[in-house]
Chains A and B, each alone.
Chain A
Amino acid sequence: MKTSECDIVIVGVGGQGVILISDVLGRAAVKAGMPVRGAETHGMAQRGGSVINHIRLGCRFSPMVPTGGADVLLALEPAEALRFGHYLSRDGVAMINTDPVLPISVTMGKSVYPGLEDIVDPLSEVCKEVKTLDATSLARKAGTSQAMNVVMLGALSKYIPIKEELLLDALCDVVPKKHLDANKRAFQIGKAEVE
């Protein structure tokens, strides 16, 4: 028996705004009267390490998405998409921001950052669909590259059982007023990108 309506894994690098996305999703789910569970990365890893947030819409059980169970893997950074690819379900969708954040091992020249196809190809083999978008550039179009996470949220909105109005409502709750317009634009740009 199914124990969750929609399982989402959001990954990225500490500081990219992963928590904001799951916060918006969770709040929107509560507004929709839907049970929701989530798990966040806090502490040490937030200092530039890999971070993963889980969110399970319509679920009353484990706060973490089971391995192989994610309906959507939302990756704010390409290498992190591959790192957490094992969360994808066979019917799942991976959505990847193509703008990399180079880890220190790469900037110091001790390792090489993989090409996008080396990330996308293996993921394509284990899930239904891989979508890539340059969310950072799209966010710049919306007014600020900081809103990259909200571009990704907009793209995600097409794949989840929560109404757009509720997501935007929740976005208003968590984004400071002065940045709200840019973030709303970022949401719409992200959404349009996958339509």
Chain B
Amino acid sequence: MKEYLLGNVAIAKGLLEAGAGVVAGYPGTPSSEIIESLASLKGDLPIHVEWSVNEKVALEVAIGASWTGARAVATMKHVGLNVAADPFMTLAYLGVGGGIVVIIADDPFCHSSQNEQDTRRYAQFAAVPCLDPVDPGVAKEMVTYGFELSEKLNVPVMLRPTTRVSHARSDVETGHTAEIRRGSGFVKNPARRVSLPVHVRPLHVELLEKQKKIEEALALTPWNSLRLSGVHGVIASGISSLYAEEALIEMDLDLSFLKVGTFPAPSDMIRLIVEHASKVMIVEELEPVLEEQVERVARKYNPDLEILGKGSGHIPRFGELDQLYVRNAIASMEGQPARSGPILGEALKILPSRPPGLCPGCSHRATYYAMRKAFGRDAVFPSDIGCYTMAVPMGTVDTCLCMGASITLASGIRFGGEEKGICCSLGDSTFLHGGMTGLLNAAYNKARITVTILDNSTTAMTGHQPHPGTGFTATGKWSEPVSLEAIARALGAESVETVNPYDIDSAVDAFKRARDYPGLSVVIAKQACVITARRNGQKPQAFRVNDKCEGCRICVEFGCPAIEFEGEKARINNLCAGCGVCAWICPSSAIEVMK
């Protein structure tokens, strides 16, 4: 049956068609919809699907499952693999039981990420095969193949969609759900399951010896194809190969073309095009992984080959490519004119910018307002990964490095010699992901900082996934939620307070007490995400501006999109979520509940 599917949903269907038994992941754009859609698609099938506490946990759960014989998967975004790198690197030595496919979604251009690292480098580093899909349909097919290859060669396989595959849609041929491959039990085998030096030394040799088999197997897949034609050629991988293919057809160019969908790339095919051509252009996003391989082959078989790509400056090593860019790069190799879209030039200067921002009524805005009131603008405000990075204009987000780093950076800033107030902030999901160890460290090593947990009881930024503080699991089953307050105390924090940020007076007082506490203090600002509150049927109270408004703009400066300025007066528009914070802020009592 043909269906119109999002790339990540196609991958979830691939997991069903491959009989995956255990699937674990941590939300992160552009990977999140894989587990979300699998959790609803699986119905009563005996697949264990979980949102894990972080990516390292997810991969380790998948590895354990694989060692019972189950087909297992871990999903995450590219930077998540940094968190999971520890198990990932050694897994390649120890090998699998049931097949393991590690799905890592890359984000060239950082659409929704803190960097644009190229995960193909990780696959090279760990010496494991990497599948680089061109579109949703191929991504789906690659899942089943990934498990088969993993089991055949006893090695984990990486599937690496990018944003433009995960969040692309296309007509995809879907098939039947396979028998779910659960495990039959853990088999003791210390030489392959215990990474003692004496065990891993030979396993490393074995992994290196496996490389030739990996490349031979990958070369046989349908995702690598070669057409020898003109003496100029294009070698392209992943989604870039689709751009190149379209450009060649559109320009009606008779060039040789090698399309690559796997890494390592097929050396024999590279050799054929390299021997055939006098000039080739290598088209790939981010790192020159393919280009370096072509250079190695060319050194041996055609040292005179002219290689255009990142080295020559034709293809950038940053950002994402698109069809026009690739078309123009190929056109320049062929001496044809570049094409451009319409130039709107000056006309664009009148456009107001529209960056993403905190939602109307978002409690983070209220928390930061209270935090700033108590600590003053000069205090240092390390922050973290989540919706709250959009509060940079409020002046309470001074740093954002990686998941959980707010607390540890705050500690380091204090130990480094900063004397001013330090109040860091991170969300509930981020705290459970990577903040707990930092809090333990800060408490034990006596960092005099305030840690604010922005607890909106969800993983909001990535689309409202549950976590252990929410009381339900990926599949919607009830599980007793953990208490963030109890965790903070158990980790060694002595001063822990929970406040409702909509109650601004109490929140400011709580931040003042935290600021004046002589050691580590924790403030938990607890208020449901406005989006989940609305979905749960919460009806907002309506507010309006009465004639006491003096046009002082204090409410407007608060930065809520629901407050506009019309003439000389403030006005509440229809975006209002009814949090009531602006009514508290107004010095003239001009904002009131509509009766």
Contact = CB atoms under 8 A, between A and B. Distances in A.
B323 interface: yes
B2 A1 contact: no
Contacts of B243: 61-62
Given A61-B246, A87-B341, A49 B354 contact: yes
A98 B549 CA distance: 30
Contacts of B359: 47-48
Interface stretch (B42-50, B215-223, B488-496, B558-566): B558-566
A66 to B, nearest CB: 4
Given A47-B387, A49-B356, A61-B246, A83 B322 contact: no
Contacts of B327: 66
A154 interface: no
Given A27-B4, A48-B359, A107-B556, A39 B354 contact: no
B373 interface: no
A103 B324 contact: no
A68 interface: yes
A42 B7 CA distance: 12
B198 interface: no
A9 to B, nearest CB: 11
A61 B169 CA distance: 12
**Residue of B6, B249, B322, B347 with highest tally of chain A CB at under 10 A:** B347
Given A38-B169, A126-B342, A23 B347 contact: no
Interface string B228-260: 000000000001001101100110100000000
A187 to B, nearest CB: 19
A127 B323 CA distance: 21
A122 B544 CA distance: 38
A36 interface: yes
A44 B171 contact: no
Interface in B433-448: none
B341 A68 contact: yes
Interface string B354-388: 11111100000000000000000000000000010
Q: Give chain B's interface residue range (CB within 8 Å of chain A).
A: 35 or more
B6 A40 contact: yes
A86 interface: yes
Contacts of B563: 107
B112 interface: yes
Contacts of A50: 354
A45 to B, nearest CB: 5
Interface string B462-490: 11000000000000000000000000000
Contacts of B352: 79, 103, 105-106, 111-114
B553 interface: yes
Nearest to A111: B352
A165 to B, nearest CB: 17
Contact of A45 (B112, B164, B347): B112
Given A29-B171, A30-B171, A103 B344 contact: no
Nearest to A103: B354
A1 B252 contact: yes
A50 B169 CA distance: 20
A79 B29 contact: no
A82 interface: yes
A61 B245 contact: yes
Given A22-B169, A27-B4, A44-B29, A108 B556 contact: yes
B135 interface: yes
Given A63-B164, A102-B564, A42 B112 contact: yes
A108 B557 contact: yes
Given A1-B250, A47-B357, A42 B342 contact: no
B351 interface: yes
A14 interface: yes
Interface in A3-30: 3, 13-14, 22-23, 26-27, 29-30
B340 interface: yes
A105 B322 CA distance: 30
Interface of A: 1-3, 13-14, 22-23, 26-27, 29-30, 33-50, 61-64, 66-69, 79-80, 82-83, 85-88, 90, 102-109, 111-114, 118, 121-123, 126-127
Interface of B: 2-4, 6, 29-30, 33, 111-112, 135, 164, 167-171, 239, 242-243, 245-246, 249-250, 252, 322-324, 327, 339-344, 347-348, 350-359, 387, 390, 461-463, 553, 556-557, 559, 561, 563-565, 573
13 contacts: A3-B250, A27-B4, A35-B171, A36-B171, A43-B29, A44-B112, A48-B354, A63-B135, A67-B341, A86-B342, A104-B357, A108-B559, A109-B553
In the A-B complex, list the 9 residue pairs whose CB atoms are closest, starting with the nearest. A43-B112, A68-B341, A49-B356, A122-B347, A126-B342, A43-B29, A67-B341, A61-B246, A63-B168
Given A79-B354, A113-B352, 16 more contacts: A1-B250, A13-B354, A38-B168, A41-B167, A42-B30, A43-B111, A49-B354, A61-B243, A63-B168, A66-B327, A67-B324, A69-B324, A88-B341, A103-B354, A108-B557, A112-B352
